[in-house]
Amino acid sequence: MRAAVPLLGVTEKERVHCFFGKTAPPEFTLTFPYGALAVDQVDASRTCMVMIDLTNQTISVSADISRIVDPWTLELIARESVVHAQNRSYFRVDATAKVAASSPVPESTADEGERWRLQGDTIDLSGSGVLCSFSEPLEKDKKVKIELALPTRDIDVIMALGHVARCRQIEKQLYHVALHFDLLDSESQDKIMACCFELQRRHLRMRVLLENQPAQ
């Protein structure tokens, strides 16, 4: 799973892969790869967001950080959870990349109110859409132009037309927005799928390293 961990003096939370550990509900632990998280910089006064991917849904959990157990483990208390149903026509992977959503109306013909653009970061990616974090909300079903810089060696920039599938406020000036691809050329979709396969391989390698991490 993945967690968005608040750090001292930093507005944007650090997104890190981790393992979930059961304790006495609503408490639980998150274990991170050794050295992946500077635990001495964790801001325990702010909430941590944990994303749990299941077969047909994703669960978002808002949790308080109760204590730092050791240099790679946090203990948390779950406060709120939300279940998001997912379309699994395409598999989805965690992906951190730059993304922009803007008006689909050409700038040369757009009225003043139709000119807008939001820049943010991706949370996960699939062949059918992308989950993003933005500082402002977008209305459900709103038509958008999507510019996505794939996290690949060549940093391919994908252009697509789509719509807002859902939008949820996480905290002040932080919104998770799911964008669905409505119009995407076949070459771009092939590039997205190739990127997803590569990221999946990276995540599997990281999981093996974490499982084989020696006890400290």
pLDDT tens profile 115-162: 889 999 998 888 889 999 999 999 999 999 999 999 877 778 999 999
**Angstrom distance (rounded) from CA 128 to CA 125:** 8
Report yes or no: 175 and 134 within 8 Å, Cβ to Cβ: yes
Buried b (16+ CB within 10 A) or exposed e, 81-103: eeebebeeebebbbbebbbbbeb
Is the pTM here over 0.85, yes or no?
no
Q: Taking residues 159-186, what's their average pLDDT? A: 91
Where does the pLDDT of residue 210 fall: very low under 50, low under 70, confident under 90, or very high at 90 and above? low
Q: Would you state the pLDDT for residue 13?
A: 81
Q: How far is CA 22 from CA 54, 102, 113, 160, 187, in A?
A: 17, 42, 50, 41, 43
Report yes or no: 192 and 3 within 8 Å, Cβ to Cβ: no
- Give alpha helix (H) positions in 37-185: none
Q: Taking residues 68-89, what's their average pLDDT? A: 78
pLDDT, greater one: 95 or 214: 95
127's CB contacts (< 8 A; 6+ apart) are 89, 90, 181, 189, 192, 193, 196
Closest-CA residue to 201 (of 154, 30, 209): 209
Q: Would you state the pLDDT for residue 88?
A: 46
